[in-house]
Amino acid sequence: MSHNNDQPDLRRRDFIGKTVLAAGAASIAPGVMLTVANAGSDAGVSSKVRWGMLIDANKCADGCSACVAACNQENGIDLIERPAGQSDAMWDAQRPQWIHKVKLKDNLTGEITNLPMMCQHCEHPPCVDVCPTGASFKRADGLVMVDRHTCIGCRYCMMACPYKARSFIHQDVAAQRTGTPRGKGCVESCNLCVQRLDAGDQTTACQDACNREGYQAILFGDLKNPDSEIARALKAHNSRQIRADLELNTGVRYSNI
């Protein structure tokens, strides 16, 4: 049956195009086979692991901020430039901070406690509950992360987080590290140095820095592996979740607070 229109026969064109392409590809192919072998596995991270942290507040030194500096360096936060004309107060309030030092004082005794505070990597993260696009998500191995491809910058998660762990990028960012993309209009927070974990390392930048300073206040590892150092430490010593009343089952625990 013939059609009286001026539309081309797309199927025929498609066939011719594909044939020519296939012939072309076949003649290039010998050089390609090698890279095809590089195609990745599709298993991904497993829920048999849950990454967590145990922080000993007794070992966390007053005045030391090595963990903060190391985090800033590892995750490219130090590459963010202060916008021209921004006041000190605004810059301090708005610049991203994945980890910050908190100093607590007991008003009755005067006792001072220092501790680093960051995303607590909850088992039931409120930030994930409230995210309207699914950008805030929990990975199978327990990391709570932001998928910046789908983040619309609404900042609900910042409101929902009981730990004030998240930051918003307010201005264009000129330079990023390869492992930590970053741009205006997205929320971000500590991801337990996911680029290191995925590369097979089992330490975070803050932990390395703390050990380098000789304090060893941060212990990082797999909570689900009963033989891991962190699991044994949690079993042996008293530790607390911050705001345990919220029943979020945080992955970051503190001792001596």
Partner 1 sequence: MGSLTGFRRFARMGLGGALLLLATGVVGDSAVTEGSKAAGLETCVAPTAEIRRNHMDYLKHDRDATVRKGIRDTRFSLAECVQCHAEKDSAGAYKPVNAEGQFCESCHSYVAVNLTCFQCHSKTPGSAGDKAAMRDDKRNGRQALGLLQSIDPLTLRRDELARLHATIEGN
Tally the C-alpha atoms within 13 A of residue 24's C-alpha that lie toward its C-beta. 6
* Distance from C-alpha of 90 to C-alpha of 86, rounded to nearest angstrom: 6
* Interaction between residue 168 and partner 1 (CB under 8 A): no
Asked if 151 and 166 touch (Cβ cutoff 8 Å), the reply is no
Residue window 70-89: x/- pattern of binding to partner 1, with contact defined by CB under 8 A: ----x---------------
At 177, which amino acid appears? Answer: R
* Interaction between residue 28 and partner 1 (CB under 8 A): yes
Which one-letter DSSP state was computed for residue 193? Answer: S
Please state the closest distance from residue 117 (CB atom) to partner 1, in A.
Answer: 24
Q: Of 55, 80, 99, 145, which lies in the binding site for partner 1, with binding defined by CB under 8 A? A: 145
Helix axes 205-212, 66-74, angle to 10 degrees: 140
Q: Of 181, 202, 212, 237, which lies in the binding site for partner 1, with binding defined by CB under 8 A? A: 181
Asked if 243 and 236 touch (Cβ cutoff 8 Å), the reply is no
At 138, which amino acid appears? Answer: K
Residue window 197-236: x/- pattern of binding to partner 1, with contact defined by CB under 8 A: xxxxx-----------------------------------
* Interaction between residue 195 and partner 1 (CB under 8 A): yes
Residues 79-138 that bind partner 1 (CB under 8 A): 137
* Interaction between residue 36 and partner 1 (CB under 8 A): yes
Asked if 214 and 191 touch (Cβ cutoff 8 Å), the reply is no
Asked if 70 and 205 touch (Cβ cutoff 8 Å), the reply is yes
| Contact positions vs partner 1 (CB under 8 A) | 6, 8, 13, 16-17, 20-21, 23-25, 27-32, 34-45, 74, 137, 139-141, 145, 147-149, 172-173, 175-184, 186, 194-201
